[in-house]
Structure 1
Amino acid sequence: MSDDTLLEVSGLKKHFPIKQGFLKRTVGYVKAVDGVDLSVKRGETFAIVGESGCGKSTTGRTILRLEEPTEGQVVFQHSELGKVNIESADAKVLKRVRPEMQIIFQDPFSSLDARMTVGRIIAEPMIINNTLSGQALRDRIAELLTVVGLRPEHASRYPHAFSGGQRQRIGIARALALNPKLIICDEPVSALDVSVQAQVLNLLEDLQRRFDLTYVFISHDLSVVEHISDRVAVMYVGRVVEVGSTDQLFYSPKMPYTEALLSSLPQPDPRNRTRPTLLTGDVPSPANPPSGCYFHTRCPYAQDICKTEEPPLRDTGDGHMAACHFSDTLELKGASRLSEVPKLPEVMARHASQEASK
Structure 2
Amino acid sequence: MSTVNILHMKQGDGEMSYAKNSTIQMRWMNMALPIVKNTIKEMLTIHLTSFEKLESFKIVDIGCGSGPNTLLFMSEIIDTFYNLSNQNNHQSPEISIVLNDLYKNDFNNIFNALPLFYEQLKEKYGHEFSQRCFISVVASSFYERLLPSKSLHFVHSSSSLHWLSQVPENLDNKGHIYMAKDCLPIVFDAYKNQFNKDFYSFLNKRSQEIFPKGKMILTLLGRSIPEPSSNDGCCLWELLAQSLLDMVSQGLVKKEDVDSFNLPFYTPYCDEVKEIVMKENSFDLDKIEVYMCNWDPNDDEDDDNNIFDKKKSGENIVKRIRVVSESMLVTHFGELPLDTVFKIFAERVANHLEMEKTKYTNLTICLKKK
Relative to the length of structure 2, the TM-score reads 0.27
> Higher helix share goes to which structure?
2
Relative to the length of structure 1, the TM-score reads 0.27
Highest RCO, 1 vs 2 (Cα 8 Å, sep ≥ 6): 2
Flag the structure with larger Rg.
1
